[in-house]
Structure 1
Amino acid sequence: MASLGELLCSHTDELVHRWYERWQQEGPAIPGMTEAAIKDHLAVQLRVIGESLRERGTSESPRKLWEQPGRLDPEQRVRDEEPIEEVVREYAYVIEAVRLWLDERDEQVSVQDYSFFSIAIFELAAESARRFARCQAEQVARERAEYVAGIAHQLRTPVSTLGLYVQQLEGGKAAPDPQAVERLRRTVDRLSRLVDGILRLERFKPDELPVHPETLAPAQVIDQLVADYEHDASRKGLRLDISANRSARMQVDRDLLVDALGNLIQNAIKYTEKGFVRVTLEERENEVVFKVEDSGPGISPERQRQLFRPVRPEQPGGAGLGLSIAFRSAVAQGGTLELESEPGRGSTFRLCLPRAVRAREGHTEGRVERSLENDASRTVH
């Protein structure tokens, strides 16, 4: 009767190859995945089990094998966004591959050795799940902290502006300047829209976002938003241009339109140091296209692929929050948000909305959520 420990140590590469063939035969659980994350670690793990069997037999608990962090790395699988279900499935294939290999070779191993091996693989999967969950929770906490910091950064500018206006009003002896009062009103409106947009982002999944269309002139919405951000643009010396048909009409949710278009204009001004920001309205047969162009630094292809994913700000105040609000607002209304950009050549965002947006009061069985995922992969050029 052969020692299972000796077999595992002597034939590690062959067993890994057999396992990998089995995994390829079944196919990965994740479409587009070409190689299992545990492949590089499996040889090490099989040798750990084999050496333990060879040196100490079944006297030691299999649970002790995975106390050393270097023997498995579920944290890397979190970073690779591989579901723990896939990892557990792969370890099940390991047991199956070893059993079939022993049968084909007619190897007779002791029940104690094989039980130790099976429990060791089970404990490996369990420990991977535990570490995966712990690492994922820590990652979510970090991202949440960055997200909150990003919100605070977005709120800082209008709040500071409000504080400045209040100081001016407190120190003035005469009646308030009508222009100052108007700027104060716009700042309050801007702050209110930002808070409402964040609340919608927090409270609703994309397929649950209420949509309440009304007939309006989109050019008037553009005028309002440009007026709100004109001070920011002029302070940086930027030219803020509008090209829109004043007679155009559409049925759209005003708040969601302002969420989307306002964040696009704000981002364009924020990241453009010189030149222009241009807002254009284009009418097509069944849709209306709002185009926001800038002469800013442009966006690299790598960064473009990250822009429309769920909010994960790389740093406080990043573009992730505003663009996430804009993207969700577009898709919730049956539209898309498209981007064309090259480093050094500026950026152009296109907000494409149906001319007549459909109303929605509640859940629609994931239709918009699936659209969100599909659009995220196909509308970034």
Structure 2
Amino acid sequence: MTRDQVEIVLVAAGGAVAVGALGLVAARLLRARSLRWQLVLVAVVSVVSVLVGVLGMARLMFLSNHDLGVVTLVATTAATVAIGVSLVLASAVVRWSLELRDQVRLVGGPDGVYGPDDAEGADDAGAARGSGVAGSAGPVGPAEFQALAVELASARERLAEARRREQALEESRRQLVSWVSHDLRTPLAAMRAMTEALEDGLAVDPERYRRQIGSEIDRMVRMVDDLFELSRIHAGSWQLRPEPLSVLDLVSEAVAAADPVARTRGVVLVGDVADGVEVVADPGGLARVLSNLVMNAIRHTERGGRVVVSATARGELVEVAVSDGCGGIARTDLERVFDVGWQAGVARTPERTEPGGRGAGLGLAIVRGIVEAHAGRVSVENRGPGCRFLVELPGLPGVPGRPEAVAG
């Protein structure tokens, strides 16, 4: 490197260092101000550093006053234009950041999840992923800002869905408290009346009154047990003790236990299980699932109807189905069947024709909780003369064989 080149580098570096130092001082003073001034400051430091270097070298070159003026005018004009462009870009960046700030404010706003003026934003949020827009605000600056806007729109959707689930759960809890209170108050009032009749000697058939009191007590005990079981499932404290189980044995036990009730109601109960089907599950939990589904099917099947419990292995899944003759469920209610406290009937008064009366609408909610705890899935559909409840569980694929009749 020649001496002239070294001198040029030193002059340019000296001017740039001096301007950069002043820029750092200015940046510290402006650190709490708008981003606009920070961005303009970067452009000013860059342009002025070049301008100082050019003017310094022009003086060292002993240019004439005319030439020096030309160089100065050209450099100053270029610096002015550059600073103007930086102002425009800085204003745009500030505007984009303000738009993002407005979108952030909409997340968790007072009106649900969306802000008060964002009724349309929820509908447009889904389109943000494909078009690079968030809500209804349109494109927001460079790619990084657009990506952030899309993430904000996605977060708003997730929060909205979480809020809806929370509200649905809260409504379900309120309904459950109301329904359980009613279902407990009814047998308590009946037992009080029968007890007073027995104490006053007004009971025409004391033995029947005692049997009825015992039946109501059993019903309340089952309801309290269901509530306790459901609370354990929802709290995550229900412990699974999985072990290899024969589905044929489980269905046989469930059918044998429910067959007397089915005969009393005039319902034909049949088990139809493929030979060799096995599943890894908690014995008590899966037995509870089958019992709840079978008893529910019997309860809602008309006299002379038929309830079929079937099971088969499909690849790595075991499917257990309970089909009844309930006449079907309204399409609007199919999604609510497994909700806590849901019952098909409108009346809340227990049916005396049924042993122990009706429950509190907790059985199917317990079924779903236990099945999902096994990493399985339960669903319902209208099929034939009634409904078909299908439980899908991870299992040990068996060798399909001749279906064996369990009972009926």
TM-score (norm 2): 0.43
Higher gyration radius (CA)? 2
Question: Scaled by the length of structure 1, what TM-score is found?
Answer: 0.46
